[in-house]
Structure 1
């Protein structure tokens, strides 16, 4: 389907794939949205969305992910899986009396991530983990 057809259908309150009327509460029924959709239909006249190349998602290496995390103000290991070695170190330090916040700094992860891992390892209760949201 051509882009301008999709925008025109949406501006008329019609789902482009099913042909069904959209809910009266849908944002497409607001005057600003209708004007915008008709303007987009005009702008994209002759463009076939299915022919538009999509940007391929790049898989980052763990080191690239760490650099990106730090650049974005997150702990270095945010969103990286826990290795068995990291889990064993976490257990050892937790049993030595380190707090969740201290463990977070040591592991370069958020306190929430550490609390969730401790819960998975059955070292703290779900209620205790929930305090680190």
Structure 2
């Protein structure tokens, strides 16, 4: 019998706390304009989890939501504005930003929406035009 690992995370000020349990479905980098704009950075480091693996343990009433599109429900702390995660209903996954899970050994394996990149990263990982086929994308690779 294996023991399921869990990791604690929080927003910037700690008003919202959560745990993620088990292992992420995927980890990687998103280069889409929406993620870049939302994160205020040239690339967003993501960890994708099944919804049942993500549990808000404190401050649920302090979480704000914005959805620019039906594909992404972005969540943040109403106190500090710290970004926490994005629900992706069409994929059936939640992107918990890698930076808010300090004890998780981040191990990326893919770059998504790489055709929109503003920061070329030559790391040998697959670079996809959008997202993998199994998540509703084309699965088409683009040059590093």
TM-score (norm 2): 0.21
TM-score (norm 1): 0.22
The structure that has the greater radius of gyration is: 1
Greater strand share, structure number: 2
Greater helix share, structure number: 1
